[in-house]
Amino acid sequence: MTKKLSKKSIAAKVLALLAERYPHPATHLAHKTPWELLAATMLAAQCTDERVNRVTPALFARWPDPAAMARAAPEEVEVYVRSTGFFRNKARNMVGAAQRIMEQYGGEVPKRMEALISLPGVARKTANVVLFGAYGINEGIAVDTHVGRISYRLGLTAAQDPVRAERDLAALFPRAEWGNLNHRLVWFGRQMCMARNPSCNLCEMAGFCPKNGVKQAGAN
């Protein structure tokens, strides 16, 4: 009888296999500054990175920093971000975030979780992406749809709520790996462990993955 692995053991295997598969993890969102990463991550909600990357060059050329965006009319920003979906909320939140950055943080995207989540439209997931991607700070694990889905399938968390799932994952993985873990799981979710028809028969984790919630696992 095969011995059931503990969550800690599964996490260690996942970490090693993902590092082997993706030795150089990074975000797919094109950016040059903390502000650009923040804006791009806000736009990426319910939108693909590819779509965001098509939108942001013109957006950043028009409003390159918080100072410029803070003076923008949300209606004008909407024209630039319409194709990303939920464009009215996104435009309003970007302008509001820029204004708060100018008023409260001297024009610099803050480096603290509490400050970031005080910005309009910024929750823990976005804040974690910005803290690690812009400043190299591992404050938490950004749990998006890919991270949440894969973590559940692997049995690392039973939580559907991203904040609870983040807490579960943070207890299993070394803090120094949190940011890169997010990138690697996102890539893995796009290429192997898709929402529909995951490639279980090609997956290096198939031998220990409980495949929670997967129907017809290994069909592809």
| Active site (catalytic) residues | 125, 144
Tokens standing for 98?
């820029």
144 Cβ contact partners less than 8 Å away, ≥ 6 residues apart? 125, 162, 182, 186
Answer yes or no: are the C-beta atoms of 101 and 108 closer than 8 Å. yes
94 Cβ contact partners less than 8 Å away, ≥ 6 residues apart? 39, 42, 43, 69, 77, 81, 121
Choose among 116, 138, 136, 135: nearest CA to 127: 116
Dihedral, CA of residue 70, residue 76, residue 78 and residue 80, to nearest 10: -100
